Amino acid sequence: MSLKVVIIGGGSSYTPEILEGLIQRQPTFPVSEIVLVDVEEGVEKVETICQLGNRMIKEAKVNIKLTWTLDRRAALQGADFVSTQIRVGGLAARAQDERIPLKHGLIGQETNGAGGIMKAFRTIPVLMEVAEEVHEICPDAWMINFTNPAGMVTEALLNHSAHKKVIGVCNIPFNMRHSTAELLQVPPEDVLIRFIGLNHFVFGDRVYVGGEDRTEDVFQKLIQKEFDYSPANIMPLDWSETFIKSTKLLPNPYHQYYFQSETVLEKDLKAYEENGTRAEIVQELEASLFELYKQESLREKPEELEKRGGAFYSQVACSLMDSIYNNKEDIQTVNTWNHGTIPELPYDAVIEANCVITKNGPKPITIGEIPAPMRGMIQNMKAMEELVIKASISGEYEDAYNAFLVNPLIQDEKKAKIVLDELIEAHKDYLPQFNR
């Protein structure tokens, strides 16, 4: 059997990584056709990516047909897997998500706080359309979403679209596992971190190496500042001995926004004054990446791509597709329905959890109760996510305001309105649901 993979957002600078992953896995994941889909504004980028991809395919001596198109419906014909990696409004929209909250003394970040909510508002309606088209045109295809905020997007699609074969992925658990393996000087495939929580708000509560519990060793290394697993888009900060010993949890890099808020805000404001927003830095990095991609001599994914914050997303996505196709029943960390895995969260909520990956999709491994120190925080975050999804679909101002109000990085009734109003105005071209 030969497989067809469609990449929505094919002009992304990350695409060479997913192409590399598909090329490398061809013996076990026999993809014969890849179609890159993008929008009119992304024509030059997607064309550049396609040319590079075809050089990579030729260099690897594999038989894969790679094309690009702006016709999404045509691309979806006969698809087996559809990956989604879009950024509605591009990096210019992200810059607004970061700049406007910072202006009002709030953390400005693309997947957390006010910025993360606005990204969801712009993204969910577009991917709902994609999901409906997938369900109509290629109903047996799996949608693999790594568009942020991945957990909220995945929950919106699973609970509010007709298509149910949707899985969300993130590179944070992958980074945590590989950094932990490096720290303990063991192969990554021997490391299993038991994760509990939500996308970008997930904790590790146990670490196993070859079945042996090494949690305390990892906690000690973390206390002694011996390692860091922050991606390129997040400034690494130390965790105190008191935090680690008291919570007995392995935090992820995004937790600094919630538990080191003042320090992060201070550093973000300083970085903004000196270098502009992270989005503006990424725009420069992306421009240099695309200059590289245009070089005829380049026939592989360049190392410079790893400087992007989402590096290794594609490795996660390719491993997931490979495991579904081959019914590997291995364990991967993905975003999927809770279905009782965490009893304190709604049955149809989406969580980020270790799952057994089968041909019928992910089967989450039961975790049990949320550790007491973070139970209330995780429940509050899930309630906030539900409000964000509701507002994304309804377009009701009051729903949007409620989502802002309860977000832990805002929680100020006056600032919530001011920042919401400014962001809606800044993004009005991409928020048709709020402009009715």
Q: Residue 326's pLDDT is what?
A: 98
Q: Residue 307's pLDDT is what?
A: 65
pLDDT of 435 above 70: yes
Q: Residue 229's pLDDT is what?
A: 59
C-alpha radius of gyration, the chain, whole number: 21
Full-model pTM: 0.95
Residue that the structure tokens 């999709």 belong to: 361
Q: Residue 282's pLDDT is what?
A: 87
Q: Are 16 and 305 in contact (CB under 8 A)?
A: yes
Q: Residue 423's pLDDT is what?
A: 98
pLDDT of 236 above 70: no
Maximum C-alpha span of the chain: 60
Task: Name the band, by pLDDT with cuts 50, 70 and 90, for residue 407.
Answer: very high
Structure tokens at 299: 């026939």
Q: Are 204 and 193 in contact (CB under 8 A)?
A: yes
Annotated binding-site members for Mn(2+): 170, 200
Q: Which residues contact 266 (CB under 8 A, 6 or more apart)?
A: none
Instruction: Find the DSSP H helices in 213-358.
Output: 215-223, 241-247, 256-259, 261-275, 278-293, 313-325
Q: Which of 14, 229, 254, 293 is catalytic?
A: 254
pLDDT of 223 above 90: no
For residue 412, how many other CB atoms are within 10 A of its CB?
14
Peptide bond before residue 149 is cis, with ω within 30 degrees of 0: yes
Find the length of the chain: 436
Catalogue all structural domains in the chain, each as residue range(s) with its CATH number.
4-168 (3.40.50.720)
Annotated binding-site members for substrate: 94, 148
> Phi-psi category of 230—alpha, beta or left, where left has phi over 0 and alpha has psi -120 to 50?
beta
Residue that the structure tokens 């989402």 belong to: 310
Q: Please indicate whether residue 258 is annotated as part of the active site.
A: no
Annotated binding-site members: 94, 148, 170, 200
Q: Give the DSSP letter of residue 196.
A: E
Structure tokens at 27: 């013996």
